Structure formats: structure tokens, C-alpha cells
């Protein structure tokens, strides 16, 4: 099997091993997150044995992923997270069969939205897709999740940000 791997999978799972029969790929930004001895050691060995390789998403896919994440109202995704999502989009476009391994719920959420198969290493998988809505508690006006407004443009009340599960 071909796995796209997130740092969370390796960092959270102390029993994690790269299986030489499989192939793994990730981005340089994700590799930089392997800072402790155990995960660095695992990663360097896997790179040396060509079990793990590093690939970069296309710049335009990275931009697209950034826009999508902002549009859905997610603010907690890091640059490594974004690079991973973008690479997943690229691999899918190329018709590659792969599974994304991540314990990060935000990344899992985007895997769901983008219909990318994923597995979790330790923490389990989300069953619902999360989106956000922004609305005014006073007049009921709703704004797109990507909105940066803090106050209602109609009545000036403080806007409420709500998490929706589907
Ligand atoms: Zn209002």
C-alpha cells in the first residue's frame, strides 16, 4: 500500500514502524516536525531505505488548499498540515491509490471533504464532517464561514461562531 503520512501518526504512536513492504510519502514541512530522537531515527532510516520519500505539492494546489481551508472557516491548520492536504489533492488528481494516515482531526475533516481515504494511527477517526457558521444572535444575519468580521454589519452585535457537524 502507498501511504501519505502525517507527523501526528508517528509522534502519537510510540509503536509506529515503517513497514518495508509499503511505500510512504510526505512533505518536507511534515518531515521537519519529526524532532524527537525516536521519530527522527525512524524517519531517517526509512528515507535511507527508500521506504519513505519526500514530495512537494504543486504551488497552485497549495494555494487552492489554502483558499479551501479559509473558505471552510478553519484557522488552526499549520503550514505542514496545508502542505499535506495539498499533496493529497495532487496525488488524487494523478490517480494514485493511497491512504492518508493522520491523527489530526482537522486534516481528517478535509480528507472527508475532499473524499480522500484516510486512517488514523491512534486517536480514532472522525465520523462527522465539521464546518463553521457565523451568525448574528440579535438579528439572525448569517455570514460565510470565511468572514473575518467580528461584529454584525447590519446591527453591530457581536457575531457568534458555531461549529456544525454533518
Ligand atoms: Zn445583526
pLDDT of 143-159, one tens digit each? 888 888 889 999 999 99
> Are 32 and 114 contained in the same domain?
yes
**Closest by CA position to 125, among listed 8, 1, 2:** 8
Span from the CA of 148 to the centroid of ligand 1 (angstroms): 15
Same domain, 6 and 30: yes
In a domain, 124, yes or no: no
Q: What is the C-alpha separation between 130 and 133, in angstroms, rounded?
A: 10
Instruction: Express each pLDDT in 67-94 by its tens digit.
Output: 999 888 887 789 999 999 999 999 999 9
In a domain? residue 125: no
Domain containing residue 156: 130-165
Cα 68 to middle of ligand 1, angstroms: 26
Q: Which alpha helices (H) appear in the chain, and where do they start and end?
A: 7-12, 28-31, 37-48, 59-71, 79-93, 105-113
Same domain, yes or no: 17 and 86: yes
Number of domains in the chain: 2
At 136, the pLDDT band (50, 70, 90 cuts) reads very high
What does pTM read for this prediction?
Answer: 0.77
Distance of CA 164 from the midpoint of ligand 1 (Å): 20
pLDDT in tens, 52-69: 999 999 999 999 999 999
Amino acid at each position: 500500500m502507498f501511504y501519505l503520512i502525517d507527523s501526528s501518526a508517528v509522534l502519537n504512536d510510540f509503536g509506529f514502524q515503517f513497514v518495508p513492504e509499503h511505500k510512504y510519502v510526505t512533505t518536507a514541512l511534515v518531515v521537519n516536525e519529526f524532532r524527537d530522537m525516536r521519530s527522527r531515527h525512524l524517519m531517517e532510516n526509512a528515507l535511507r531505505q527508500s521506504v519513505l520519500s519526500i514530495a512537494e505539492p504543486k504551488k497552485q494546489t497549495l494555494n487552492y488548499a489554502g483558499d479551501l481551508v479559509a473558505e471552510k472557516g478553519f484557522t488552526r491548520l499549520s503550514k505542514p498540515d496545508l502542505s499535506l492536504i495539498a499533496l493529497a489533492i495532487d496525488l488524487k488528481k494523478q490517480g494514485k491509490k493511497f491512504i492518508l494516515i493522520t491523527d489530526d482531526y482537522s486534516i481528517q475533516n478535509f480528507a472527508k471533504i475532499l473524499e480522500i481515504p484516510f486512517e488514523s494511527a491512534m486517536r480514532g477517526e472522525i465520523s462527522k464532517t465539521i464546518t463553521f457558521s457565523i451568525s448574528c444572535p440579535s438579528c439572525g444575519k448569517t455570514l460565510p464561514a470565511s468572514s473575518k468580521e467580528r461584529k454584525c454589519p447590519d446591527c453591530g452585535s457581536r457575531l457568534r461562531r458555531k461549529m456544525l457537524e454533518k
